[in-house]
Chains A and B, each alone.
Chain A
Amino acid sequence: MSTGLRIPDAALAALEGLINRYLALDPEGAHRLGTLQGRVFLIEVSGFGTPIYLIPGRNSIQLYGEYAGEPDCTLRGSPAALARLGLSSHREDQLFGGEVQVEGETDLAQALGELLGGIEVDWEEQLSRLVGDPIAHQVGSGLRSAERWGRHSAETLTRNLGEYLQEEARLLPSRNEIDAFLDDVDRLRDDVERLAARVARIARLRGDTGGER
């Protein structure tokens, strides 16, 4: 059993309740958890050594600070890497890029990441239960166009800001300048390696002719 900073059981119980309430908002997504039902995952937050045992049920999960017996799959990583595993759309990067270490049945880790990342709450549907379909739909379309506008603005802003920093303020280098700089670094590295080889050869030659240091 793992040792390390334990999360108080009351806090885990509360977290479990929160996650299950969130899962309940996407019943179809949560239902896919059933494929992993009863598998014991050990999630170890590196740096703290904090163990969390996660056991999926049919449409909910259970969390424990310890669990008798061996886990089917252990995930070990920094808090940020573990969070990205659940949230990002490129989970392979975290799993195979070495950010998250996986022991045991690795396909289970992949499946868990996909399931948790695949939970999508239909907020419009949730809202419609409170205020009815017509209003919920209006609010939904409003939010969607706001999101589109937001994304478009963000892209434009990023591009404009990039141009300003590179061309006007000259605070950041442009792509070409970076490439040239990287080429210089490569050349310098090769030169240093050649020089090192040369020094080594000379040293060996002096050694062969009987010279001591």
Chain B
Amino acid sequence: MTQTTMVMGLSLLLLYPSQLLLIGRFGWVMAALLGIAWLSSVWLLPALLAGPLGRITEGIEYHFQVNQSLQRPGGVPPEPVTASGLRAAVATQGR
């Protein structure tokens, strides 16, 4: 997300010095909108999900196959996953 936003925002900012005022304004407004969209998806949405209102989304159904290697047998609650383990598990199951 960060990389795509940076690439798109910087390339749209190239339109700013355009002699046609319409195009120049389109460029910087679009870049500003991309920046705010990045803020809203990377900062605002996780903050909303982690806050008290995030309990709404905890009941959402889970469609992906849970990796068995992350769960202990016998009904024991799974041990907390680390970020690297999660990344590896997600990478093996594909996106």
Mutual binders A and B: no
| Interface of A toward B, CB cutoff 8 Å | none
